[in-house]
Chains A and B, each alone.
Chain A
C-alpha cells in the first residue's frame, strides 16, 4: 500500500487535523516508510487466523438496568465551548 498526497489530506480531514501543504510532503514520505515496514507482516499467511481484538479470554462485564447517573448538567456543560444554562452551544451546523 502506498499513500499519495490526496489520501494524506483526506485522512487528516477525517481526523480533524489541520495539515498545510509543506507538511503533507513530509508526512507522505514518513507514513509511506511506516507502511512499508508494517507490510512485512503480509509475508505471513493469516487466512485461517481470526483477528485478535482482545488478549483477555473473558466476556463483557454487564450491569443491571438501573438509573444510577445523570442530573449533573452543570458538570456536563462545564467544558462546553459556549453554553447557556441548558444546552451545549456550538457553531451552526445545518443541512
Chain B
C-alpha cells in the first residue's frame, strides 16, 4: 500500500481548520446480571421485567457490586495497555431525569478503576496512537419511549443498572475516518476479550463525541461541544462533519462558540443545542456512602493478565510472520476474532496465502450478500480449505473453483464430492489438450494464418475456443503453453 498523507481539514474563507475529536465510549459490560443488583441483563425482555427494587431505587436498598463486572473492566483495561488502579471509588453523579430513578448515577469520578492507556490505529498514512485517558465503571439509565403516547413518556427500567464501561479517549482524533477506525478497534479488542459484545444496534456501544476546531498549526484547543449519545459510526461521522463546519462558520463570522451539550438529529442531519442540559454539568459528585472503596489485589490483576487471549495487534504481527500475509490482509483477517479463527483453521489445512485471497474475495462477498457473520457461514472452514487445496494443486482452475464455491454454498457438500460428481476436474493432460487444440486450429485455418501474419491478439480467441470446448476445464497455463508452441510450428 502506498502511504497517503493525512488530509482532513475544513476549508474556511480565512484558511484551513483542523478538527479535534475526543470520544467518551459507553460500552455495555458482558455479564449475566447488573452492576449492583441480581437482575438479568438480557436484551429484548418484556418491559420492566428485569428490574429489582435496587434498579428502581426503592428506599432502603443497598447496592452490592458484581465481581464479574469488575474483572471485565480490568480485562478491558489490560487490553488497552492501561494502568489498572488498585484503589478506586464509586461516586454519585446527580441529575434529574425520568429514566434515572435514583436521581443519581453511580459512577467513578476522581478515582477510576483504569487509568491511562493507548490504542493503535492503522491508517492509510501509517499507524497512529490514540491515548486513553481513563476507563470507569458506571450504571446505565433506563429507556424513555416518547412515541407511544402523545402526552406521556413511557419508561422501561430493564437497562437501568446494567454495567457500563465509559472509555474516555484523549483529544487525539483528527477526522471522521480516524473515529471510524478507533471505534472499530475498540470494539474488536473488547470482542476478543469477551468484555462487550459491541452490538451497536442493541445499544451496547454508544459514544458522546467532543468536537472542536482550530486553525491549522495552532497549539491551543478551541472551545468544544459535546454531542451526546450517538449510536452508530455513520452518525458519529455525520455529526462531526456538521459540527466542525458549524464551528468554523461561527469563527469566521467573528462569533464565539459556546461550550455546550448538543444532540445529533439523524433525520435533519444537524446538531442542535440541548437546552435541558443547561445545568447538566452541575453534577455535584460525591463518594457514594453506600459503597466502600474498591481495592484490587495485585494478584487478581496478574491472574487476569495471564488469561487474556491473543489480541488483534499481536495476532496481526503473527499472521504476517507465520503466514506470510501482507499488512492489509492481516489487518482484515484479525479484525474479528471469529474471522481470524476461521482463517487459522483454513490456513492449517491449505495454502496460507491463497486461503487469504479466497477468503477476502469470494467468501466475504458471499457472506456480505447474505448478511451473514462468518460464524454462520454455509461453508465450513474444513471444506473451504479443501477448495483452496484443489485450486493450489491444479485439480481445478480458478474459474471452475468459483462454480464449485457456488454449489458448496447451496448444498453444503464438500468440494471433492462436487468436483467428482460433476466432472469438474481440470484437464491437465498435455496429450489430450494438444489433441483438442490441434482440432481447433484445423477448424480455424483462416484465423491461424491471420495470427501468423501478425494479428497476435487472436491468441485470446484460441484460448476462448479451448475453454469452450473443454467446458472451462482446460488447465489455463498448460493451454497457453501448448497453444504458443503449436502456433509457432
Contact = CB atoms under 8 A, between A and B. Distances in A.
Interface size class of B (residues with CB under 8 A): 35 or more
Interface stretch (B37-45, B218-226, B394-402): B37-45
A53 interface: yes
Given A13-B279, A56-B292, A91 B153 contact: yes
A92 B153 CA distance: 5
A90 B38 contact: no
Given A73-B49, A76-B48, A65 B153 contact: no
A70 B40 contact: yes
B274 A87 contact: no
Contact of B151 (A53, A56, A62, A92): A92
A92 B64 contact: no
Contacts of A68: 33, 38
B481 interface: no
A73 B48 contact: yes
A86 B48 contact: yes
Contact of A95 (B53, B149, B156, B276): B276
A54 interface: yes
A63 B64 contact: yes
Interface stretch (B93-101, B312-320, B469-477): B93-101
A89 B149 CA distance: 10
A77 interface: yes
A36 interface: no
Interface string B128-147: 00000000000000001110
Given A73-B51, A76-B157, A54 B31 contact: no
A14 B151 CA distance: 25
B53 to A, nearest CB: 7
Given A67-B38, A69-B37, A86 B46 contact: yes
Contact of B39 (A69, A84, A86): A69
Contact of B65 (A10, A58, A62): A62
A63 B49 contact: no
B33 A67 contact: yes
Given A14-B94, A69-B52, A60 B38 contact: no
Nearest to A13: B279
**Chain A interface main SS type:** loop
B284 interface: yes
Nearest to B163: A65
Contact of B53 (A16, A64, A75, A87): A75
A90 B65 contact: no
A79 to B, nearest CB: 8
B392 to A, nearest CB: 47
A94 B263 CA distance: 12
Interface residues of A, number: 39
Query: Which of A68, A70, A82, A93 has the most chain B CB atoms closer than 10 A to its own CB?
Result: A70
Contact of A90 (B48, B58, B153, B289): B153
Contact of A67 (B40, B56, B279, B284): B40
B287 A53 contact: yes
Given A14-B279, A53-B89, A72-B51, A87 B295 contact: no
A59 interface: yes
A59 B292 contact: yes
B294 A59 contact: yes
B234 interface: no
B307 interface: no
A60 B155 contact: no
Contacts of B151: 91-92
B66 interface: yes
A66 interface: yes
A71 interface: yes
Interface stretch (B6-14, B67-75, B190-198, B449-457): B67-75
B64 A62 contact: yes
7 contacts: A56-B292, A67-B32, A67-B39, A69-B52, A71-B50, A86-B47, A86-B156
